[in-house]
Amino acid sequence: MELHGFYNLASNIPPFVVGMALVLICILVLLPIRERLEGLGYNNSYSSQLGDWFLAMAIEIGRYTLVDIGRTLPFLNSTISQLIVGVGAILVGISWQCIVTRKGPTTFTDAYHNVIIVPIFVGLATLLLPIAFWYGSVSEKTWVSACLLIWVILVIYDACTGRLDQSKYLVENGIKWKKRGRKK
């Protein structure tokens, strides 16, 4: 099967580049951005500081399965279906940002997470995880399932403990810091 669009690109990228890019763009960049803009580098959400690593690992396993077998699910191989997935992922991120801002103002980093990180993870997971589950070995399916289960458990834990709204969680637990900004 000839791979099209994203799949052609993903199958020609050297091993672990997708996973490393996810870690850099979606996880490691948050601390320096918060440090610079908010005055304190923090990431107290377990689903973010740990869970996103597991999600990135699951996505990388899906990419590895794609490279290993050289095929994908036929309905996802067309440019149109990949475009639909991409637009859908972006709409998920924008919708999440709209839901969050209804509760009050958000930080730049929270908006970056919702509008950039969420669509990246949703899009890549939608395109790569079905390949791991459909064509992957028992080991690949087991690892992807375990990674996703850990991520879901951490998201539920964060939701139950109020850690999803990280800056609010810090304030409610007595952490105070001077927010950076222009001096007037």
- Return the pLDDT at 139: 96
Q: Give 179's Cβ-side CA count (13 Å radius).
A: 7
- Report yes or no: 110 and 33 within 8 Å, Cβ to Cβ: no
- 28-32, 82-86, 149-153, 172-176: least confident range: 172-176
* Amino acid at position 42, single letter: Y
- 5-9, 104-108, 137-141: least confident range: 104-108
Q: Taking the domains of the chain in order of start, what are their residue ranges?
A: 5-77+128-172
Contacts of the segment 15-18: beta carbons below 8 A, 24+ positions apart: 15/64, 15/67, 16/60, 18/59, 18/60, 18/63, 18/124
- Return the pLDDT at 182: 44
Alpha helices by DSSP H, listed for 136-165, are 138-161
